[in-house]
Amino acid sequence: MPNSKKVKEPLDRLMERSNLSEAEKSIMRMRQIAQASSMKLASEEIGRKLGISADDVRRKETEAISKLCDEIDNELHRIESARKELDATEHLLHEVDTWLLRRVMPKGENTDVTDLNLCTRTVNSLKIARIRTLGDLVKRTEKEIMNTPGMGCKGVEELNSRLADHGLSLRRNGDIGNA
């Protein structure tokens, strides 16, 4: 049985967004409380508490479930739309990054990291991580670079400094794009 608080709060928010009638909300809450306490609650008993018939309870419960399902479908559609928009934005950012790399570096994203005049330790750490080109580098977050063996704060600072000279940067943790 899932933690009742983990279920209750999202269900309450969902019920508010679903335009349920007060009777439908009451029925759903009574069912939720009964389920959380492992009780069986008959439609007749709910009907007595609300002053409606058991058939009305079942009908309203069915309508409430239908409305909740519709709201879940709507939310999934909004999430899918947002995901598609995010994918399109990521693609656009990649295109901008590629264009920017080509403008600031003669070989663009295929520019070798050694062309940044980094210290030997930083270059060796990047080689260990199989980061060979500027394109490989700017796709990484600071955290990813920091987790590279032999790389530390000074190495990340050096990379950010050299990239900034070219108008570029490592991705910040949580960022989508570069620069």
Q: Read off the pLDDT of residues 2-31 as tens digits, 9 standing for 90 and up.
A: 455 666 787 778 888 888 899 998 999 888
Average pLDDT of every residue of the chain: 83
Average pLDDT over residues 123-139: 88
pLDDT of residue 107: 58
Q: What is the C-alpha R_g of the chain?
A: 28
Q: What is the CATH number of domain 105-164?
A: 1.10.150.20
Which 3 state secondary structure label does DSSP give 175?
coil
Least confident piece of the model among 59-63, 102-106, 139-143: 102-106
Residue 163's nearest CA partner among 140, 143, 137 is 137
Q: What Cα–Cα distance (Å) separates residue 2 from each residue in 8, 32, 42, 94? A: 10, 12, 22, 41
Residues of each domain in the chain carrying CATH 1.10.150.20? 105-164
Residues 6+ apart with CB under 8 A from 48: none
pLDDT digits (tens, 9 = 90+) for 164-178: 887 777 776 554 444
Instruction: For residue 20, count other CB atoms closer than 10 A to its CB.
Output: 20
Whether 179 shows a pLDDT value over 50: the answer reads no
Average pLDDT over residues 25-43: 83
pLDDT of residue 122: 92
- Contact between residue 14 and residue 68 where contact means Cβ atoms under 8 Å apart: yes
Residues of each domain in the chain carrying CATH 1.10.10? 4-86
- Residue holding tokens 């389920």? 35
pLDDT of residue 58: 94
Whether 72 shows a pLDDT value over 60: the answer reads yes
- Contact between residue 57 and residue 31 where contact means Cβ atoms under 8 Å apart: no
Pick the CATH number of 4-86 from 3.30.1360, 1.10.10, 1.10.3470, 2.30.30: 1.10.10
Phi, psi of 171 (to 5 degrees): -70, 140
pLDDT of residue 178: 42
Instruction: Dig out the tokens for 79 from the structure.
Output: 């999430």
> What crossing angle do the helices spanning 54-104 and 4-17 adopt, rounded to 10°?
90
